[in-house]
Structure 1
Amino acid sequence: MPELPEVEVVRRGLAPRTVGRTVTGIELLDARIIRRQHGGIDRLRAALQEVTLTAVVRRGKFLWWRLADADGADTGEALMGHLGMSGQLRIATGDGTAFTPAAPSQGPASDPLRHRRLSLHLDDGARVDLIDQRLFGGLWTSALVEAPDGALAAMGSPDALLPTDAAHVARDLLDPAADLPAIARALRTRRSGVKTLLLNQQLVSGIGNIYADEALWTARTRFDTPGSALSQRRALAILRAAREVMERALEVGGTSFDALYVNVDGRSGYFARSLNAYGREGQPCPRCDRLLRRVIYQGRSSHFCPRCQRRTM
């Protein structure tokens, strides 16, 4: 599943190609991709008729476009997107052909023809294709509300407004308005394992399995350490490690283990080459040479070093 760095790569790719463009049509190929849309395709078409995309915004793993009507006034709604497990937002050029990867990716690539579920047609002749092999993602509209803290809603936002359907999602660690000491204190009030807490999108958003394992390896903390056992200093160290590893992933386009995650041009990210723990079961720990282990913890794989990340209860 794309995590925060991968979704931010997509947002940055969409911004210069879609902001300022007017939606001229919607092509729906599979109604399941709009299952979250109240009123179905008719409501979606009405909400997007001749609207201009004024910003592309991201909080955690949620993306949305801000919308303006023909007079330039905000419509009061956002067009939300979530990539789910295998979703891609790809830009097709003005002649209707999709960009192709600079180099082929390995793995179960989504077929841009078979798995194209919806397309937004823009006034410059380009289109935005939502491609989703497993159909866990989607597009839908959501009314705007003000962020409770009054700060800019998220990355790329022009103001404090965010979609109602993203209002429950906590700020992420790349958000300048994120209060790391407050998040650390919240982690320390819970008895659940720290990895479970990092994956809780209501505490801190955008972190998934990959970056949780990498952050905990960096902070020398075992995945099942209770949040209540953390000092404030250790909790902050974990959050800062997560932020740092996601910033490094963002610099190289995110993490692609297969072609289910690519950017808007169809290119893969290369952070998989820099991972220290995730996916490296049986290989030497880069820090101490002890063989890394993988265990199933609450239904998820957790990769860790048994020497550097010892049990603390």
Structure 2
Amino acid sequence: MPELPEVEVVRRGLEPRTVGRIVESVEILDARIIRRQAGGADRLRGALTGTRLTAVARRGKFLWWRLADADGQDTGEALVGHLGMSGQLRVRTDDPLSTPADSAGPASEGPASDPHRHRRLTLHLDDGSAIDLLDQRLFGGLWTSPLEAVSDGAVAGLGSPDALIPADAAGIARDLLDPATDLSAVARRIRGRRAPVKSLLLAQDLVSGIGNIYADEALWAARIRFDTPGARLSQRKVLELLRAAREVMERALEVGGTSFDALYVNVEGRSGYFARSLSAYGRDGEPCERCGTVLRRAVHQGRSSHFCPRCQRAAR
């Protein structure tokens, strides 16, 4: 499942290719991909056709484009996207092998996957390019959502021009790459709960964007076992954990994110290669890079957790 670094790679790839462009038409191949759209396909086409994309922003795993009318006036809505388990937003041009000169984002590797397979929706833009939404498992989607002001008055997310956020994304917390995130406040809230610390990292209401991969990596880096209750951790230790999570996601972002299969690729259809730098996730049976102890995998609350039994001891 794409996590924060992967979604930010996609946002950075979309920004130079889509901002300023006008949506000429909307092609819907599978209506399930717009199941969250109030009013269905007609409402989506009516909201987007002839509309200019003026910014592309992100908070956690949510992406959104700001929309303006033909006169450049904000429409009061955003086009929201979520990649779910296997969603991909791919930019297609007249020349399928061309790459824009101002291409943003890190280099990546791996063969481009088939751009025609699992295509569910396409936005056709005024420069002849297209944005394809591909989704094998159909947990993602695109839909419009009204804008509302964020409660803290800060810029809504990375790439946002102001403090307005789509209503459907307003309920999730800020993420660790957001300069407005108050790490000390997040740490205090984690310490105020007795739930396992990994569950708290994944919940999205305390801090957003962290999934299974980066939770395991951050917990390994901070030497905290996945099932330690939040209330058993000190403020210093939780801050260490949050900083470790931010650092590992920044490193992943530099190399295009983590790809284990063709389900996550960037806007050019290529995979990231942070998987080769992982210290814990997916490495059960291999030696810990710190102490040499064999890493283990445990299933807790329906999720796999990868950890070092020596470095990450159970709470007493």
TM score, norm. by length of structure 2? 0.95
The answer for the alignment partner of 1:179 in structure 2 is 182
One-letter identity of the residue aligned with 2:23: V
Give me the whole-angstrom Cα distance separating, in 2, the residues matched to 1:194 and 1:98: 45
How big is the alpha-carbon RMSD for the aligned residues of Structure 1 and Structure 2?
1.3
SS at match of 2:63: strand
One-letter identity of the residue aligned with 2:26: I
Give me the whole-angstrom Cα distance separating, in 2, the residues matched to 1:102 and 1:93: 20
Deviation (angstroms), 1:49: 1.9
The answer for the alignment partner of 2:29 in structure 1 is 29
Deviation (angstroms), 1:99: 6.9
- The answer to whether structure 1 residue 202 and structure 2 residue 211 are counterparts is no
Deviations 1:144-173 (A, max 9, x none): 000100000000000000000000010000
Contact 1:99 / 1:265 at 8 angstroms: preserved in 2? Answer: no
Is there any run of 5+ residues in structure 2 with no aligned partner, and where? 100-107
Give me the whole-angstrom Cα distance separating, in 1, the residues matched to 2:181 and 2:45: 35
- The answer to whether structure 1 residue 86 and structure 2 residue 86 are counterparts is yes
Counterpart of 2:262 (choices 251, 259, 263) is 259
- The answer to whether structure 1 residue 103 and structure 2 residue 110 are counterparts is yes
One-letter identity of the residue aligned with 2:220: W
Contact 2:115 / 2:269 at 8 angstroms: preserved in 1? Answer: no
Deviations 1:61-119 (A, max 9, x none): 00000000001000000000000000000010135x477996327xxx6x532300000
SS at match of 1:243: helix
Give me the whole-angstrom Cα distance separating, in 1, the residues matched to 2:260 and 2:156: 31
Give me the whole-angstrom Cα distance separating, in 2, the residues matched to 1:249 and 1:214: 11
The answer for the alignment partner of 1:287 in structure 2 is 290
- The answer to whether structure 1 residue 57 and structure 2 residue 57 are counterparts is yes
Give me the whole-angstrom Cα distance separating, in 2, the residues matched to 1:188 and 1:57: 30
- The answer to whether structure 1 residue 300 and structure 2 residue 300 are counterparts is no
Deviations 1:203-234 (A, max 9, x none): 10000000000000000000000000010000
Give me the whole-angstrom Cα distance separating, in 2, the residues matched to 1:252 and 1:102: 9
List aligned pairs for 1:146-225, cutoff 5 A.
Answer: 146-225=149-228
- The answer to whether structure 1 residue 131 and structure 2 residue 134 are counterparts is yes
The answer for the alignment partner of 1:237 in structure 2 is 240
Counterpart of 1:143 (choices 146, 154, 178) is 146
SS at match of 2:57: strand
Give me the whole-angstrom Cα distance separating, in 2, the residues matched to 1:102 and 1:239: 29
One-letter identity of the residue aligned with 1:78: A
One-letter identity of the residue aligned with 1:41: A
Contact 1:91 / 1:98 at 8 angstroms: preserved in 2? Answer: no
SS at match of 1:10: helix
The answer for the alignment partner of 1:250 in structure 2 is 253
SS at match of 2:131: strand
Deviation (angstroms), 1:277: 0.2
TM score, norm. by length of structure 1? 0.96
One-letter identity of the residue aligned with 1:309: Q
The answer for the alignment partner of 1:18 in structure 2 is 18
One-letter identity of the residue aligned with 1:19: V
Contact 2:109 / 2:272 at 8 angstroms: preserved in 1? Answer: no
The answer for the alignment partner of 2:103 in structure 1 is none
Counting matched residue pairs gives 308
The answer for the alignment partner of 2:102 in structure 1 is none
One-letter identity of the residue aligned with 2:36: R
Is there any run of 5+ residues in structure 1 with no aligned partner, and where? none
Residue identity (%): 75
The answer for the alignment partner of 1:116 in structure 2 is 119
One-letter identity of the residue aligned with 1:311: A
One-letter identity of the residue aligned with 1:160: A
Give me the whole-angstrom Cα distance separating, in 2, the residues matched to 1:114 and 1:308: 43
Give me the whole-angstrom Cα distance separating, in 2, the residues matched to 1:32 and 1:177: 35
Q: 1:99 to 1:304 in 2, by over 3 A?
A: farther
